[in-house]
Amino acid sequence: MGRHSVPTVERTPIDRQEEPLPPPARHRSRNGARRRGIAGWPLAVVGLLVLSVLGWLGWSWANSEVDSRATAQAASCTDGNETLRVAAAPGSEGAARTAADRWNQKRTVVHAYCVRVKVVSADPQTVFTGLTGGWNGAKLGPRPQAWIAQPARTDQLATKFPDLVSAQPEPVRSGSFVALNGDDINDIQLRAAQQFRAFMQQKTTSK
């Protein structure tokens, strides 16, 4: 008998689908270890810790800065406190008080003195008569170191009684400002009057 040929078995598509697929290739590092992804939560924890530390440092710096400024401001009034009395006509009183409040909040220092501005409302004729005829402290209260009134009044005082003023009248909001002079007015009050006048002029210009 001749050689019998082995019959060829054809594999159907179904048979080919049932064959198991080869396992996926796994990447290995040079030393043969499998690569693994880095977990995300440790990085998040580290980030939160860094932000917390930076926030604490920022708060500490800001708090220290505020304390340093307050200490420096308080230390600058080494010679004590002084008061600047300003007589203001009724029409000028509001602007003068507003400026005085801002001045006092800043704790303005004049030659190592913390100067507080006190504004009192006063009739212009009463002030003019008191300054030129002798100030009656028992009736009018302490003599002012500055006067805010209508330009006609302050100019009249500076023209007729130049010894009673330390500087020529200058315009401010709602009136004319004149720094006064006298034996009972010290150097700190003289300088404070001029600085307060400039302070009022600056606020008027900024508006």
Shortest CA distance to 169 belongs to which of 160, 180, 178? 178
| Percent of the chain clearing pLDDT 70 (strictly above) | 69
- Predicted confidence band at 71 (pLDDT cuts at 50, 70, 90)? very low
Going along the chain from its start, the domains and CATH numbers come out as: 78-206 (3.40.190.10)
Cα distance between residue 88 and residue 99, in whole Å: 12
Q: How far is CA 77 from the centre of its chain?
A: 20
Within 8 A by CB and 6+ apart from 104, the residues are 116, 117
Q: Which two tokens stand for residue 165?
A: 């003023």
Mean pLDDT of the chain: 81
Name the band, by pLDDT with cuts 50, 70 and 90, for residue 43. Answer: confident
Lowest mean pLDDT among 52-61, 156-165, 170-179: 52-61
Bridge partners (DSSP) listed for residue 146: 86, 179
Residue 52: what pLDDT? 75
Encoding tokens for residue 103? 């001045």
Does residue 7 carry a pLDDT above 80? no
Average pLDDT value for residue range 179-199: 96
Given this model, what pLDDT does residue 61 score?
A: 58
pLDDT of 73 higher than 70: no
Interior angle at CA 161, CA 160 and CA 164, nearest 5: 155
pLDDT tens digits, one per residue of 102-115: 999 999 999 999 99
Whole-angstrom distance, CA of residue 172 vs CA of residue 190:
18
Predicted local distance difference test score (pLDDT) of residue 190? 96
Q: What percent of the chain has pLDDT over 90?
A: 58
Q: Pick from 55-59, 82-86, 172-176 the range whose average pLDDT is largest.
A: 82-86
Give the model's pLDDT for residue 66.
43
CA distance 179 to 148: 9
Of 137, 131, 144, 134, whose CA–CA distance to 179 is shortest? 144
**Cβ atoms of 194 and 177 closer than 8 Å:** no
Strand order in the sheet with 170-172: 109-110, 113-121, 80-88, 146-149, 175-179, 170-172
Within 10 Å of residue 14's Cβ, how many Cβ atoms? Answer: 7
Is 78:109 a contact under the CB 8 Å cutoff? no
